Structure 1
Amino acid sequence: MNQAVVTRADLLESCSDGLRTLVDCVLDEGDFSGLDLTETTFERCSLRRARFDGADLTGARFLRCRGPEASFIQAELAEAAMTGCDFSNGLLRRARLTSARIQGTKLVGADFTDAGLLGTTFQEVLLSFAKLPGMSFRKAKLQRIDFSDADLRKCDFRLTQFEDCSLRGASLDGSRFEQADLRGADLGGIELRDARLFRGAVISRLQAAELLSQLGLEVR
């Protein structure tokens, strides 16, 4: 099936006509920065290296899209949804994702530095090697999130519940985990000297045993 190639002019014309649904379209390497794309739906679209910097994507929906290295720097993504997408190595620096929903999506190596994630919901998301310094996940319920090798320095995980998640090899300097439930998190690669980060959190006996094994102690 041939996919329609969409240019900036095409998208402007489509939106001005009130047509805000794109299906099986190619927007690769296009520059859509600053456009008003509120409530626009992108379904099965290719967005490789497309630029949406500063665009208004409030309420936009990305369904099964492929957009490695797409750029959303300082974009407005409040109440947007990303479902079944691949935005690996995407740039979301200073983007606003207030109350956005991200599910079943690959964001490997994505850069969320200084992004606004208040009320953002993550479920079944690959965030390995992603940059998320200083983000707040306070009181969140994280399900099937892979944070392995991610930059999570100074993140707030207080009162957060982890279910089938991974923190293996993540950078956690300065992060807070008071009253977090870490029993559903893979803490592989965490050294005993870093265990102080989890002060006040709940961990399992197996996790405690793995940490203490570094001292040659055995928990029975």
Structure 2
Amino acid sequence: MPPAAKKSARPSGRALRERWGDPVFLAEALPAIEHMLRTRQFHAADLRGMAMATPNAIPPLQQQNLYNAQLTEVDLSYCHVATSIASSNFVRVQFDHGWLEQAYAKSSTFTDCSFVSAKVGFVADDAVFTSCNFQSSKFVSHWWSGGALRARFVNCDFSNAHLRRVAFRASRFEGCTFDGCLFDECDIRGTRFDGAEPVFRDCMVLTASSPSSSH
């Protein structure tokens, strides 16, 4: 199994990505990763800087996905993932500073996961996010190609996040934090906010909201 991330060491994002071209690192890491891909079980793995299903991914990972997988305490900081992560269960997984490039996350669950300063472009219809940290993240999407329809966000932190052109139709935000968060040109028709509300700019009409909503 890839060695656990050393919390005391703080290599740059570039260094974490470049190590995937190091034959010594790959000789140690790949057998464990291939085993995890076969079993769909990822636990306590250091996958920082990994690219999957992208042009810059190493050959063994160019055609792989995280569909129907269980990931627990996995560090995917600075990752670049552009494949299916649908019907999977993510527990205490870090995507900090990563790029989810239209990753298909339908019906997945995310618990205690971190997306700090990440670039998020996934399709997360019917997904559930519980106690996740989206601080300073940037959601990049288009109404016709990405979003989170009927998704549920519970006790998540969206402080200073920028959500642009994301479809959140019929989704629910329960007890979330939105300090400095901006929903920019998003489709939030049918979305419900229980508790605090973010700032809305040129959004589609909000048709279901908490009683305190003025929209």
Would the TM-score normalized by the shorter structure come out above 0.5? yes
Distance in 1 separating the partners of 2:171 and 2:45: 34
What do residues 175-194 of structure 1 show as CA deviations (whole Å, max 9, x unaligned)? 1333322232x236x38xx5
- Cα gap change, 1:178 to 1:56, in 2 (>3 Å): closer
- Cα gap change, 1:137 to 1:13, in 2 (>3 Å): closer
- Check if 1:148 corresponds to 2:159: yes
- Cα gap change, 1:56 to 1:144, in 2 (>3 Å): same
Distance in 1 separating the partners of 2:4 and 2:169: 46
The residue aligned with 2:15 is: none
The residue aligned with 1:61 is: 70
Distance in 1 separating the partners of 2:33 and 2:75: 21
Alignment RMSD: 3.2
Aligned-pair CA distance for 1:129: 1.8
What do residues 147-191 of structure 1 show as CA deviations (whole Å, max 9, x unaligned)? 22222122223322221112332232221333322232x236x38
Aligned-pair CA distance for 1:61: 2.2
- Cα gap change, 1:57 to 1:137, in 2 (>3 Å): closer
Aligned-pair CA distance for 1:143: 0.7
Compare 3-12 and 42-51 and name the one that shifted more. 3-12
User: Which structure has the larger Rg?
Assistant: 1
Identity of matched residues, %: 20
Aligned-pair CA distance for 1:82: 1.6
- Check if 1:97 corresponds to 2:105: yes
CA contact (8 A) 2:46 2:75 kept: yes
Distance in 2 separating the partners of 1:199 and 1:116: 20
The residue aligned with 2:117 is: 109
Distance in 1 separating the partners of 2:204 and 2:181: 12
CA contact (8 A) 2:105 2:124 kept: yes
The residue aligned with 1:88 is: 96
Structure 1 regions of 5+ residues with no counterpart?
21-36, 212-220
Aligned-pair CA distance for 1:12: 5.1
Aligned-pair CA distance for 1:91: 1.6
Q: TM-score, normalising length from structure 1?
A: 0.67
Aligned residue pair count: 183
Aligned-pair CA distance for 1:40: 2.9
User: Could you tell me which amino acid in structure 2 is paired with residue 49 of structure 1?
Assistant: G
Q: Which structure 2 residues correspond to residues 72-87 of structure 1 after superposition, within 5 A?
A: 72=81, 74-87=82-95
Distance in 2 separating the partners of 1:119 and 1:157: 10
Aligned-pair CA distance for 1:84: 1.1
The residue aligned with 1:167 is: 178
Q: Which structure 2 residues correspond to residues 35-46 of structure 1 after superposition, within 5 A?
A: 37-46=37-46
Distance in 2 separating the partners of 1:13 and 1:183: 46
User: Could you tell me which amino acid in structure 2 is paired with residue 107 of structure 1?
Assistant: F
User: Could you tell me which amino acid in structure 2 is paired with residue 42 of structure 1?
Assistant: F
The residue aligned with 2:126 is: 119
Aligned-pair CA distance for 1:104: 0.8
User: Could you tell me which amino acid in structure 1 is paired with residue 80 of structure 2?
Assistant: S
Structure 2 regions of 5+ residues with no counterpart?
6-23
- Cα gap change, 1:80 to 1:88, in 2 (>3 Å): same
| Greater RCO, 1 or 2 (C-alpha within 8 Å, sep 6+) | 2
